[in-house]
Amino acid sequence: MKIAVTGKGGSGKTTVASGLALLYSKKNKSVIVVDCDPDLNLGVSLDFPNPEEIVPISQMKKLIAERTESDPDRPGGYFKLNPKVDDIPEKFSAKKDNIRLLVMGKVKKAAGGCLCPENTFIKNLLSHLIVTSEEVVILDMVAGSEHLGRGTAGAVDAFLIVTEPTWLGINTGLHIKSLALELGIKKIFFVGNKINNKEDMDFLKSNLKEDVIGAISFNKNIVETRGKFVFDEKLTREFQTICDALEASNVL
């Protein structure tokens, strides 16, 4: 199962990615979480030890040069478009319990505008994870669909757009959905976050219809731990509801 989680900045996509990863880990499934966001908050949320010391893949210049057969001192030169990446998840991920964490880091430009060794390497690695890997793979994306090429995106089992109950959240979420549809992603769902009451949920459902498959209420535990994800009884129910909805949609 391969899930991409996205949304506008601050919407809570890292919270949703973390909750899903921890829930599947508790079910004794092997999980690979991929931090594609330049803010690099996923390791903090999942309480990995010393997450600030994890070196992003995009910064492994020597490794990328070797695998792509490129010359870092001569940008713009020839390089290999299908580098070996199948050993990267095991060799270069941090591990905690059933969860492996890969940090992609920032590429030079958006996916459509940069044909460079770093971007090529990351795209190939993501393609391997989504198309070939047998683990549960959860991608914490930047807003939109950066890092995903058309072929890779089409192999994602579900695209979850996290949105707050505001007009800005609704409009941004619908724009992200249109980008995902252009890439051929078929299973696109919305998850509400920072939901305070029934009115918030009604607002989302009235504008996003049946595509809303779950909601995460405003949770003081996450606020008080400065972003570290802590499962309580209510959060467990909310994330299980999302998983049940994915299963009912034949994603799982």
The pLDDT tens digits for 44-60 are: 899 898 888 888 998 89
Q: Of 49-53, 59-63, 76-80, 218-222, give the lowest mean pLDDT range.
A: 218-222
Q: What is the pLDDT of residues 185-198, one digit of tens each?
A: 889 999 999 999 99
CB half-sphere exposure, 231, CA atoms < 13 A: 16
**Amino acid occupying residue 220:** K
Confidence tier at 111 by pLDDT (50, 70, 90): very low
Percent of the chain surpassing pLDDT 70: 87
Nearest one of 128, 115, 173, 175 to 155, comparing CA atoms = 128
How many residues are given for the chain? 252
Confidence tier at 231 by pLDDT (50, 70, 90): confident
C-alpha distances in Å from residue 174, one per residue of 152, 161, 210, 228 = 21, 9, 13, 28
Q: Of 46-50, 79-83, 105-109, 184-188, give the lowest mean pLDDT range.
A: 105-109
Q: Which two tokens stand for residue 173?
A: 């979420």
The pLDDT of residue 223 is 52
The pLDDT of residue 112 is 45
- Residue 23 near residue 223, CB atoms below 8 Å: no
Q: pTM of this prediction?
A: 0.88
Q: 206 or 75: which carries more pLDDT confidence?
A: 206
- Structural domains of the chain in order of their starting residue, each with its CATH number: 2-248 (3.40.50.300)
* Residue that has been written with the tokens 């508790």 in this structure: 26
Alpha-helix runs per DSSP H in the chain: 13-26, 42-45, 61-68, 88-91, 117-131, 150-154, 167-182, 198-208, 220-224, 233-248
Distance CA 197, CA 217 (A): 8
The pLDDT of residue 123 is 85
pLDDT at 18 over 60: yes
Q: What is the pLDDT of residues 112-158, one digit of tens each?
A: 445 688 888 888 898 889 888 889 999 998 765 555 665 566 678 88
Bridge partners, residue 190, by sequence? 161, 212
Distance CA 21, CA 100 (A): 10
Q: Tell me the mean pLDDT in the region 107-111.
A: 50
Residues 124, 130, 135: CA angle, nearest 5 degrees:
125
* Residue that has been written with the tokens 């991929």 in this structure: 34
The pLDDT of residue 239 is 93
The pLDDT of residue 21 is 94
